[in-house]
Structure 1
Amino acid sequence: MIYDAVSYPQNRLGLPVFGGVVLLHGLVLAGMLHYQSAAVKPEMTVAMPLTVRWVTPVEDPKPEPVVEPQPVAEAEPESLPLPPPEVKKPSPVKVKPKPLKKPKPVVTQAPLQQKPIVTPAVSAPVQPAKPAPVKAETASAPVEAPRFNAAYLSNPAPVYPRRSRMLEEEGIVKLRVHVSTVGKALSVQLFKSSGFSRLDDAALTAVRNWRFVPAKQGNQSIEGWVIVPVSFKLRS
């Protein structure tokens, strides 16, 4: 933006002073003008115009970023292949020649006299011995039934169901038990019910874990069956 201004000379004398000067010199000037052929006009001094300019500040150019050179990766030295190992040639094995065997002299033997062949006599076939008959005492020995009331067995009593005690259920359960040769219960069956299923189930659960004295025939243990009665009764 440009602003132009022009300055002009100003008269510094006041009006009264100016009037007195004009009056004093008026007469002198009148005579002089008569003789002068022409009047010389004073020149006007014009001052140089003042120019004010709005200069937009120019920004300094930004320095360009310095780009650092990237380090160049050094190439790894190529590994040269190792020379193949030297293979030692096996030394030749010297084979010693075997000494030749001297041939044995051939001895001519006189022909042997043949002995007469004797045929053995054939004997009658021998019959195998028959096994000894089983003693009739073992077969005829009485069978002793299994037992469950031996003191050393320590069989626990069945648990009286709580519901049955509240309802005052009582009765006798009879179970048919198949006992093995080692005294274990192979199977337990309900032979006669007490009339209450809770009592029957309690008896079956207990007797399945009981130990028994196996049945015997003579001195031999055998499998057998036994009836086990279980009584449920409330005390009065």
Structure 2
Amino acid sequence: MRMIINKTLTVAVALLGHAALLYGLTTMSSSPKKPEQVVMLLAPAPIPMGEDVPPSPAAKPRVLTPAAKPMPARPAAPAVIKKISPAEAPIQQATGQMDAAVAVAAAAPAPAAPAESAAVAAGSKSSKQLSDEAPVTSPLFNAAYLANPRPAYPSQSMALGEKGRVLLRVKVSEAGLPLEIELAHSSGYRRLDDAAKKAVERWKFVPGRRGDTAIVMSAMVPVDFVI
């Protein structure tokens, strides 16, 4: 019986110790109280009144510069009038007339010498006559060294028996190349006319000349189609 009582007391003491330990832990873990906020009101600085107000700085006096005095105008020099005596008047009048005559003679162009003008006219006339009288050579298309091929005979025209002469007007450049080709006279068949134009477009010519200068000139070129 006594042992049971001792065990019960031991358990009770242990429980009390545990309870005390839990209470201590609970008390320590609780958050501390927040400090109270203290509000302090600061009084504003006193505003000086009456005689204590510092005086404002006095405005500086404005200095006015005196205006510049206008310069007095200088009096104009009196015109000098020279009196001409009756004896000097005819001399001055004659001198003025001579100066006017000299000025007119200087302004007028000098007449060309008749011999020089005649020589210039003769020279220009002779050069123009020489240029007009220079021999003119028509363009050539049938020179052997040109080797211009004959136009191809259209097969359909040959089968139908179409034949004839096509006459073309060809404008030849200074280099001997055809510039323009016009149909001056038709063969009566469009196929033959077109074949002649296509062939002459590839031809080369000896250009026309006036004297020793090559010029642009037109030439009549006949093309015959014969079966």
Q: What interval of TM-score do these two structures reach, taking the shorter chain for normalisation?
A: 0.3 to 0.5
Decide which structure has greater helix share: 2
Using the size of structure 2 for normalisation, the TM-score is 0.45
TM-score of the aligned structures, taking structure 1 as reference length: 0.43
Q: Is the radius of gyration larger for structure 1 or structure 2?
A: 1
